[in-house]
Amino acid sequence: MTPQPPENRDKDAGPWSDLGRPPLNATALRRALVRPGSLWTSLDVVAATGSTNSDLAARAAKGETEGAVLVAEEQSAGRGRLDRTWSAPPRSGLFFSVYLTPRAPAERWGWLPLLAGVAAAGALSRTAGVDTALKWPNDLLVTSDDSDALRPGGTLTERKVGGILAERAGPGVVIGIGLNVSLTAAELPVPTAGSLALAGATTTDRDPLLRAVLRSLEQWYGEWQSADGDPTTSRLQEAYAAGCATLGRTVRAELPGDTALTGEAVAIDADGRLVLATPNGVQQPVAAGDIVHLRPAQEA
C-alpha cells in the first residue's frame, strides 16, 4: 500500500491510522472522473469541514464552475433538510456536494434532489450489492442486516443510510449527499439509522462507491438536461416511483402550524410532489417544502 498524499488524510494522523477506514484517494478519483467532456470539472477532498454544502455554496457565489465536487472525510456541521444535523465518525461515510447550473426551466429544478436519489440508489445497488430504496423526498433506505434482524423470529428493517440536500447557490444548485458506509451498530446516531456495512454490502471501499454515485449522477443529469427537465421524457418520474418505498403506504404528513394530512401515498406527480389519497376520497399533492415530517401513519 502506498501512503496517501496529505490532502487525503487527517492532519494529525498517519496513513496507517485506521486500516479499516482508509482515506480517499483524491488523485485517483480526479483521474477517473475529471476528464474532457465529463460533467465533473474539479474534485477536492478535505480532511474536515463544517459543511460541504456551505463551502461549495460560498464558492458558487464567487463564480464556481458547474461540475465542482467537494468531498469531506469528516463534517462537523453537516445538515439535512430543515437544518437537521448529520454526523458520523471520520472516514466512516461519504459526505460530498456537487454544483450544478441546469439549463432546464427553473420550475423543474425541484426534481434535482429526487434525481440525486435515483442516481445514488442505483449506484449503491449495483456497486455494493444492497437493496436500496427511496423515502420521499430525500432519504436513502437499506434493509438492515444486523444481528437482531437475523435472530429467529426477527424481522428485517428499513433504515436510513443516506440523505440529500439541494440548495440554491449563485446561478445554480448545490446538492449535498451523505451516506453511512462503515458505521457499526454502536456508532449509529439514532435507532432508525443504518449503514451499508450493516446491510451486508459486498464492499465498503469508498473510492469505487463515490465513483459509481458520481457517474450515475452524471448520466441521470445528462438525460434530464437533454429532456429540458421533463421528468416523463427523461424517465426520471418513472424511475423514482419504481424505487420509492413511500408509495403504497399510509403516511402522515406533518405540516407547519401543527396541522397534518394522513392518506395513502399513491403517486409522485409531474412536479415531484407526493400525492396522498385521503380517507375522504380526495387526492392531495404535498410538496417537499411543505412538510416538517413524513411518518408511517401508525407511528403518529
pLDDT for the residue numbered 258: 84
Report the domain count for the chain: 2
**178 lies in some domain:** yes
Spacing of C-alpha 43 from chain mean position = 18
Q: Mean pLDDT for the chain? A: 89
State the average pLDDT over residues 107-116: 97
What pLDDT is stored for residue 157 in this prediction?
Answer: 82
- 195 and 269, same structural domain? no
In degrees and rounded to multiples of 5, residue 106 shows phi and psi of -60, -30
Nearest of 294, 288, 249 to residue 267 by alpha carbon: 249
Q: Within a domain: residue 26?
A: yes
Contact 193, 84 (CB under 8 A): no
Q: What does the block give as the cell for 51?
A: 459543511
Q: What's the confidence (pLDDT) of residue 104?
A: 97
Q: How would residue 290 be classed by pLDDT, with cut points 50, 70 and 90?
A: confident
CA distance 58 to 53: 9
Q: Are residues 220 and 90 in the same domain?
A: yes
> Do 134 and 178 belong to one domain?
yes
| CB 141, CB 244: distance < 8 Å | no
| Measured CA distances, 20 to 28, 183, 188, 204 (Å) | 19, 11, 17, 9
Asked if the structure places residue 1 within a domain, the reply is no
* pLDDT interval class at 289 (50, 70, 90): confident
Tell whether 152 and 287 lie within a shared domain.
no
Same domain, 61 and 175: yes
Of the pLDDT bands very low, low, confident and very high (cuts 50, 70, 90), residue 150 is very low
161-175 pLDDT tens trace: 999 999 999 999 999
**Under a CB-based contact definition with an 8 Å cutoff, are residues 95 and 52 in contact?**
yes
Classify residue 205 as exposed, middle or buried by CB count within 10 Å of its CB (0-12, 13-18, 19+): middle
> What is the SS3 assignment for 211?
helix
Rounded-to-integer distance, Cα 23 and Cα 10, Å: 8
Residue 152: pLDDT above 60? Answer: no
Same domain, 82 and 162: yes
pLDDT band at 79 (very low <50, low <70, confident <90, very high): low
Assigned domain for 281 exists: yes
For 281, phi then psi, to 5°, come to 90, 10
Tens of pLDDT, residues 9-42: 344 444 445 668 999 999 999 999 999 999 999 9
CATH number at residue 281: 2.30.30.100
Give the model's confidence band at 78: pLDDT under 50 very low, under 70 low, under 90 confident, else very high.
Answer: low
| CATH code for the domain of 129 | 3.30.930.10
Residue at which a domain ends, from 241, 261, 290: 241
Separation of alpha carbons 29 and 234, rounded Å: 28
Task: Note the pLDDT tens digit of each residue in 262-283.
Answer: 999 999 999 999 999 999 999 9
Same domain? For 148 and 276 the reply is: no
C-alpha–C-alpha distance, residues 181 and 204, integer Å: 6
Identify the domain containing residue 270 by its residue range: 246-299
Question: Checking phi first, is residue 71 left (phi over 0); if not, alpha (psi -120 to 50) or beta?
Answer: beta
pLDDT in tens, 58-74: 999 999 999 999 999 99
Amino acid 62 reads: K
Same domain? For 127 and 194 the reply is: yes
Sheet strands side by side (includes 42-46): 42-46, 68-72, 93-100, 172-180, 158-169, 139-143, 132-135
Whether residue 70 sits in one domain with residue 186: yes
Q: In whole angstroms, what is the distance from residue 43 CA to residue 198 CA?
A: 29
Largest CA distance in the chain: 64
Residue 155 and residue 28 share a domain:
yes
C-alpha cell at 276: 396522498
**In angstroms, rounded to a whole number, what is the distance separating the alpha carbons of residues 101 and 165?**
16
Same domain, yes or no, for 51 and 30? Answer: yes
The string of pLDDT tens digits covering residues 177-214 is 999 999 999 999 888 899 999 999 999 999 999 999 99
Residue 37 lies in a domain: yes
Long-range contacts of 264-267 (CB under 8 A, 24+ apart): 265/136, 267/241
Predicted confidence band of residue 76 (pLDDT cuts 50, 70, 90): confident
In a domain, 77, yes or no: yes
Length of the chain equals: 300
Q: Percent of the chain, pLDDT > 70?
A: 85
Per-residue pLDDT, averaged over 90-116, amounts to 97
39 and 72 assigned to the same domain: yes
As to burial, measured by CB atoms within 10 angstroms (0-12 exposed, 13-18 middle, 19+ buried), residue 34 is middle
